[in-house]
Amino acid sequence: MTSKYVSKGFWNKKRVVVTGGAGFLGTKVVERLIESGASEVFVPRSINYNLVNREDAIRLLKDAKPNIVIHLAAKVGGIWANKLHPAEYFYENLMMGVQLFHSCWQEKIEKFVSVGTVCSYPKFATTPFSEDALWDGYPEETNAPYGLAKKMLLVQSQTYRDQYGFNSINLLPANLYGPGDNFDDTSSHVIPALIKKCVKANNENLTDVEVWGTGSASREFLFVDDAAKGIVAGAEFYNCSEPVNLGSGEEVTIKSLASKIAKSTRYGGNFVWDSSKPDGQPRRKLDTSRALKKFGFQSETKLSDGLKETAEWYSDSILQDTNFSNRK
């Protein structure tokens, strides 16, 4: 039986702005839009459009004249980065989002797609996280400023739909990973951070790799290509302000994740757990039934396969950098 969620030329005459379109997730979303036939995809760069400033948001829309805006731009980082810069994570994410959203309404853009964060969920939300539980408590403290700033776009979406009839949707992906992820020591998330440490340990014959926390916390990870497919499908088929989770359905403890990454990188040493560092939210697992029901999205990439692909990409990039440096 043919699914009703099969694209039938929807994107052919659509001009789309993808904020953050040059980033990790954004490049995959742009690729997916082009594959789907979007007539024009505009990727604003921060050097030209600082979306924290409302004037730049309005200028962006007047320059690009989009039918649809997919808002991915965000200031993001791991637990330590969020702990060091909570005010920046709150202010910049809030201002980028609410001002761009308001400008889209003013300029009569057809649709606004907001991509939020699993960090918006309460710290002790019942698993699997149902979208209806978003307001059942305060988020985990280290990620709360970022999570709450992004969650304000959900409030904006619902109120602007109620008062103005403005069409917008709010998607909540699980933690993302994949080739092209951020491997910076100061701002990377757990998967790229551990892959980098294990590869370094292999290259330098180290027997120990330090990992923050106790390893007991759990997470759900979504491969970046799958996330892009879900976002583009939601943008095409979903037209409601009720939030929708995008996830894989696989919950894994950080200890188990470390073992999987060791296998993917062929690291045979030990993990040393620094329990003085925070674990973050105790558990994360999403209820993904709404995405399947509303626009037919279901992830395709198993965690073990995605980790292997990501580790191979990172190892190859290290080798290429080394070869390039040697040729200088």
Rounded CA-CA distance 116/168 in Å is 13
Strands 251-253 and 218-223: antiparallel
Could you confirm whether 146 is annotated as catalytic? Answer: yes
As given in the structure block, the two tokens for residue 181 are: 């992820």
Catalytic-labelled residue, pool 89, 121, 146, 160: 146
Rounded CA-CA distance 213/267 in Å is 20
Rounded CA-CA distance 282/279 in Å is 7
Q: Collapsing DSSP states into helix, strand and coil, what is residue 246? A: strand
**E-state strands within 224-307:** 244-246, 251-253, 270-274
CB burial string 111-130: b at 16+ within 10 A, e below: bbbbbbbbbbbbbebebbbb
> Which residues are identified as catalytic?
146
